[in-house]
Amino acid sequence: MGKMKGKMNNDFCPQSLFLYGNYQPDGTPHFGLFCWFSYCHIRDGEEEGLGVMACIGEEKWTKDLIRQQGMFSANLVTRPLLPLADYYGTTSGRDNPDKMLRLPTVESGQVLHVPTIAESPVSFELKVVEERHLADGSDLFLCRVCNVMVEEALADEATPFLQRLLQADPVITAGAARYASLTGEDLGGWGEPGAAEE
């Protein structure tokens, strides 16, 4: 079968979902949901190592906090976290001062002053090395991974990696504004899992 000219979108480019976390000026935690997230190798002064590229669209509370503090956490979204994650992704922090009345179990970062999520099996602590303005309402944050916390069972290399990955049960978004599991189950459209739990 041949190829045809496709629509200009990123369907068929599965993305893992992450909850970005920061402390607000009053010390309470804040989370937003993000998928434009990938990896790179980065230099930060004298240090070099694993980095992250996080693209944040229009101005929002998460971006304000990342700019203020120069750091954030990124917590992998799994199936049990999806309703809360969806709520965080469809509720504007700027417009809803009460957004954080719904909270996961919050822990403190080990290396950076960022809130992490106990229910998430993988949490990154990220320091912003550079911000690049790409276009109106589009900014890229290049970050160094300063620490990774991973659930003990997932770090056990005696278990084959794919088994551990499926055990983590991450949620992806693969196109058409829907959520899916790694095994191909449809987990609802953006805005649905969070609304169902209200």
Ligand X SMILES: Cc1cc2nc3c(=O)[nH]c(=O)nc-3n(C[C@H](O)[C@H](O)[C@H](O)COP(=O)(O)O)c2cc1C
> What's the CA gap between 65 and 68, in Å, rounded?
5
Contact call for residue 175 and ligand X (CB under 6 A): no
Contact range with ligand X by CB under 6 A, out of 30-38, 116-124, 156-164, 181-189: 30-38
Q: Hey, which residues between 97 and 126 contact ligand X (CB under 6 A)?
A: 99
**Residue from the set 22, 23, 29, 33 that interacts with ligand X by CB under 6 A:** 33
Stretch that binds ligand X, among 2-10, 51-59, 125-133, 142-150 (CB under 6 A): 51-59
Quick check: 82 binds ligand X (CB under 6 A)?
Answer: no
- For residue 129, the number of C-alpha atoms closer than 13 Å in the C-beta half-sphere is 21
- Give the pair of three-digit tokens for residue 189: 């459209």
Verify binding: residue 32, ligand X, rule CB under 6 A.
Answer: yes
16, 24, 50, 60: residue in contact with ligand X (rule CB under 6 A) = 60
Please select the residue that binds ligand X; options are 42, 56, 74, 146, rule is CB under 6 A: 56
Contact stretch for ligand X (CB under 6 A) within 49-57, 126-134, 145-153, 180-188: 49-57
Residue 78 touching ligand X (CB under 6 A): no
Contacts of 114 (CB under 8 A, 6+ apart): 21, 22, 23, 69, 71, 72, 73, 108, 125, 126
Binding window for ligand X (CB under 6 A); candidates: 3-11, 58-66, 105-113, 142-150: 58-66
CB of 136 to ligand X, least distance (A): 13
Identified binder of ligand X from the candidate list 16, 90, 147, 181, rule CB under 6 A: 90
How far apart CA 78 and CA 97 sit, in angstroms, is: 26
The residue ranges that bind ligand X (CB under 6 A) are: 17, 32-36, 55-57, 60-62, 89-94, 99, 173, 190
